[in-house]
Structure 1
Amino acid sequence: MKENDKLIKWAVELQSLAQIGLTYGKDKFDQERYQRIRDIAAEMIAEKSSLKIEQVKQLFCNEVGYQTPKIATRAAIFTNNKILLVKENDGTWSIPGGWCEVNLSVAENCIKETKEEAGIDITVENVIAIHDLAKHSTVAYPYGVCEIFFLCKAIGGHFTKNNETTQSSYFSFDDLPNLSSDKGSEEQVRMCFDAYSSTNWKTIFE
């Protein structure tokens, strides 16, 4: 692990401990100490990233209660042994998906995100994998992320212009475009192809 990654990992752990202390601690002096620990963790993230301290605090220190991972969904949609990818605003391509909404199930969220990003109506067929993103991405997040990959089937729709993506297209594994580093890596795309080709796929949990 790189030194920068170690510092971010420590900052994430400090923030989590501080958040728990702020939630369950009763002594007002301890509360002040926990808040200072949280501030230091945010300063560490800001120092090791391109984000301003205000952005870090908004993203990293805005929750209360026991800290748990955020949940995201990804929809693996195939036709003729090709996977559907969407082009992000930064020019990279990704498997359609995004953060889960609080009022939707993970399957409902997968359907919604695919419609928004790819314009495609889908049915959710199977769970391919549940990934701890820290084990499958080169991007260091200041919080835990649990990413759920679904094998899905397109049933209609077409791409429409939106705020998140600029294009959608199907790709074979041997002709993949430049992929986003945290929204469906080549490793994860390969996993989706394997699930699509399998007659007895077993969901991966890691």
Structure 2
Amino acid sequence: MKVVYGERIGQTARLSVSCSAVIFDEDRQKLLLMRRDDNGRWSLPGGHMDAGESVTEACAREVLEETGLHVQVGKLIGVYSSPDMILQYADGNRYQTVHFCFEARPLAGTLTSGTETLELAYFSREELAHLDIMEHHLQRIEDAWAGNLLPFMR
């Protein structure tokens, strides 16, 4: 997957609802990232919502598939829906997403890479500067660390 910016392509992209989870360590000093198998870049665990599920169910499912963790989906960090950011997949599909980013807390499971995950690790804010993180996840990460009571709308 790659991200296309500044190209309002309107009708050539489909709308999709997606979600991601920010999972902090117990001290809230580090957060969990996954290295994707499709592009080798780091991102928050998450993905597209399937028909028949809520955004919180989708978030919990995606986290389980990508990390092996069962989570309790909690606080909404933000909703992200810029028409200037399009996700383009290797199969040619292009999506403008309405994305919900949540904070989640592990309940059970063992941290294990899934079929879409090359690597999983917790990183501090300082360590993030040295990683190749997907650009659209950087804002979500910063918003999570901001600790606002109300969600961001971006």
Is TM more than 0.5 here?
yes
Partner of 1:82: 30
Tell me if structure 1 keeps the 8 A contact 2:113–2:120. Answer: no
Highest RCO, 1 vs 2 (Cα 8 Å, sep ≥ 6): 2
Gaps of 5+ in 1: 16-40, 42-59, 61-66
Q: Compute the TM-score of the two structures, normalised by the length of structure 1.
A: 0.61
**Paired residue for 2:153?**
205
CA deviation map 1:27-55 (0-9, x unaligned): xxxxxxxxxxxxxx6xxxxxxxxxxxxxx
Of 57, 80, 97, the residue aligned with 1:131 is: 80
Residue 181 of structure 1 aligns with an amino acid whose one-letter code is E
1:152: Cα distance to partner? 0.9
| 1:194/1:168 CA distance change after superposition, 3 Å | same
Shift of 1:151: 1.0
**Larger proportion of strand:** 2
Q: Deviations over 1:77-99 (max 9, x none)?
A: 10122111111112211100000
Q: Deviations over 1:140-167 (max 9, x none)?
A: 6644211100011111212334320011
Structure whose residues are more often helix by fraction: 1
1:179 and 2:95 correspond: no
Cα RMSD (Å) of the superposition? 2.3
Q: Which residue of 2 aligns with 1:162?
A: 114
Work out whether 1:108 is the aligned partner of 2:57.
Answer: yes
- Residues 1:95 and 2:37 are matched in the alignment: no
Which protein is bigger by CA-based radius of gyration?
1
Contact map agreement 1:133 1:147 (CA 8 A) in 2: no
Q: Hey, what's the Cα distance between the residues in 1 that align with 2:5 and 2:65?
A: 33
Number of aligned residues: 141
CA distance in 1, matches of 2:150, 2:5: 32
Q: Which runs of 5+ in 2 are unaligned?
A: 89-93
Give how far 1:5 is off.
6.3
